Amino acid sequence: MGKRIKVGIIGPGNIGTDLMYKVMRSPLLEMSVMIGIDPSSAGLKRAAGLGITTSSDGIEFLVQNPDMAEIVFDATTARAHAQVNAPTLERLGKIAIDLTPAAVGKIATPMVNMKDCLNEKNVNLITCGGQATTPIVYAINRVVPLEYAEVVTTVASDSAGPGTRANIDEYTQTTAKALRLLGGAERAKVMTIFNPAKPQMAMRNTIFGIPKHRDFKIEDVRASVEEMAAQIRTYVPGYELTVAPVIDRDVITTTVTVEGQGDFLPKYAGNLDIETASAVKMAEMFAEKLLRERGELA
């Protein structure tokens, strides 16, 4: 096996645990440490059972053991990242990949602007809905500018843990911000539904866009969106364009369904999967850059 970059995860909940399993499959990343604040955490116990170093001392563990990780994923809460983890990781000189909707660092999604982020020390992965829909809004906008974008995301209630629910206000604000800053829409609105139905439904995202003009062909929009969906499937295999862009009454409508890989939660938890898969994709791009700079990657 070639050289790999050590990474750590702060937050051993649903997202952090799913992320851990994905990191362990990566040819460029070494799962070095899982960090939490509760010694009885099930996520810490899972990591320890896999032979991974664990700590319940929070980010203070990295302060005392800075060599444990070069890249650190934050899967805690927006408040924890903004107030504690982000400034501490900056002081330590670590690359922070933020899976909370804190939006402290540069907002990013792999297929839109990741290459512009490789000199950043803190990148924000928006939200699961942001990772699923911002690239689609961007793909539409590169054909025709959007005056307005609206996203309705439905996820299985069982896939939304306490951290996700605690972050719901920040989730909505950060996703709408990404639709504007990265997607290119002038205005944006985001709605999220936790669906309690059984059997559980996979994550579903409906994107509505109002174009500034009608001087475009819907076939060109469809081709742009289909190309983007194919790129995302290279790292999120369950990402499917279930309704290709159609236009009715001057509104472009697209629907994307995301099924997870089942690394931790069942496959219906595509909302969790797209966030963690995007995080690994970004970490691998950082790792490749670091290894090339050191002459350790051909």
Catalytic residue among 59, 89, 128, 178: 128
Question: What's the start-to-end Cα distance of the chain, in Å?
Answer: 14
Is 117 in the active site?
Answer: no
Tell me the two tokens of residue 142: 């590169």
Say whether the peptide bond before residue 199 is cis (omega within 30 degrees of 0): yes
Residues forming the active site: 128
